[in-house]
């Protein structure tokens, strides 16, 4: 399977804990995007990378959130000191600039 | 600012009926892209179509067809002879054009329920 993969698919954590999600893009795609989707809403942009450079961050990305793509391949999204409001689906997508974004299966986060 | 509006929150049809999902967008850019994605209950967003702002030709792919009208800033999606497997949430999205971030701005989605 050469699509976008995300791990884990589901995560339940207690408020205040840190969580980390991983995204593996399609191999030839140099752009990688993170989105967040809450119940009943469309996905909202969080941040994106071109190779290893993080080029844009949304105001939704508070200082408790950090994303990395150290070698320009996989990316991680970390949430520190989770809050109940962080409960959402976190989606990763990748693309070649000018083409189409393809999405992974998402990570569903539930903060208790 | 860019914005996508999907006014239909939920649509319910009986199998074999035709159904049209509406999408209205706002942008000041002259070059942009429009998309439709399908999100089945599993949660993964499945790409359906991409349309360049310079290409207003309608497109048909099997039972799916898309009507892009710049004059009304609309990009509507029609499913002909709907099937139960078409039940999902459908999202319309917009991105800027060449040399941009290509980040997607999504509408709030339309939930389609096709009843047997």
- Yes or no: say if A82 and A13 are a contact pair by the CB < 8 Å rule: yes
Q: What is residue A20's three-state secondary structure?
A: strand
Q: Which residues, in sequence order, are CB contacts of A66 under 8 Å at separation 6+? A: A77, A78, A80
- pLDDT band, very low/low/confident/very high, at A84 (cuts 50, 70, 90): very high
- Predicted pLDDT of residue B55: 86
Among residues of chain A, what percentage have pLDDT more than 90? Answer: 89
Among A43, A89, A96, A109, the strongest candidate for a mutation testing the B interface, having the largest count of B CBs within 10 A, is A43
Phi, psi of B85, deg, nearest 5: -65, -10
Q: State whether B45 and A103 contact (CB < 8 Å).
A: yes
Separation in Å, CA of B105 to nearest CA in chain A: 7
Report the alpha-carbon distance of residue B7 to residue B71 in Å, rounded: 18
Among residues of chain B, what percentage have pLDDT more than 70? Answer: 100
First to last CA, chain B: 41
A-facing residues of B in 29-48 (CB < 8 A) are 35, 37, 42-47
Give the pair of three-digit tokens for residue A56.
Answer: 């844009």
Tens digit of pLDDT for each residue in B41-50? 988 999 999 9
- pLDDT band, very low/low/confident/very high, at A99 (cuts 50, 70, 90): confident
Separation in Å, CA of B112 to nearest CA in chain A: 13
More confident residue, A69 or A60: A69
- pLDDT band, very low/low/confident/very high, at A98 (cuts 50, 70, 90): confident
Tens digit of pLDDT for each residue in B13-34? 999 999 999 999 999 999 999 9
Whether the per-residue pLDDT at A2 is higher than 80: the answer is: no
Tell me which of A5-19, A76-90, B97-111 is least confident. B97-111
Relative to beta strand B74-79, strand A19-24 is: unpaired
- pLDDT band, very low/low/confident/very high, at A1 (cuts 50, 70, 90): low
Among B5, B102, B109, B110, the strongest candidate for a mutation testing the A interface, having the largest count of A CBs within 10 A, is B102
Q: What is the mean pLDDT of residues B80-97?
A: 95
- Predicted pLDDT of residue B98: 76
3-state DSSP helix/strand/coil percent for chain A, to nearest 5? 5, 50, 45
Residue B41 falls in which region: left (phi positive, over 0), alpha (psi -120 to 50) or beta:
alpha
How many A/B residue pairs have CB atoms within 8 Å?
55
């Amino acid at each position: 399977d050469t699509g976008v993969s995300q791990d884990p698919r589901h995560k339940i954590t207690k408020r205040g804990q840190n969580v980390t999600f991983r995204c593996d893009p399609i191999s030839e795609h140099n752009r990688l995007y993170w989105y967040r989707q809450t119940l009943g809403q469309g996905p909202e942009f969080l941040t994106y990378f071109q190779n290893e450079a993080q080029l844009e961050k949304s105001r939704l990305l508070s200082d408790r959130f950090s994303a990395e793509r150290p070698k320009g391949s996989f990316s991680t999204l970390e949430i520190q000191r989770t809050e109940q409001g962080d409960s959402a689906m976190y989606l990763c997508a990748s693309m070649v600039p000018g083409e189409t974004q393809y999405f992974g299966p998402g990570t569903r986060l539930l903060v208790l | 600012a860019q914005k996508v509006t999907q006014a239909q929150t939920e649509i319910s049809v009986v199998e074999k009926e035709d159904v049209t999902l509406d999408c209205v967008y706002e942008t000041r850019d002259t070059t942009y892209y429009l998309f439709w994605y399908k999100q089945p209950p599993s949660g993964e967003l499945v790409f359906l179509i991409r349309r360049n702002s310079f290409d207003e030709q309608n497109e048909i792919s099997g039972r799916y067809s898309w009507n892009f009208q710049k004059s009304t800033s609309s990009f509507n999606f029609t499913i002909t002879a709907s099937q139960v497997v078409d039940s999902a949430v459908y999202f319309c999205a917009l991105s800027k054009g060449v040399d941009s971030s290509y980040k997607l701005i999504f509408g709030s989605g339309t939930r389609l329920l096709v009843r047997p």
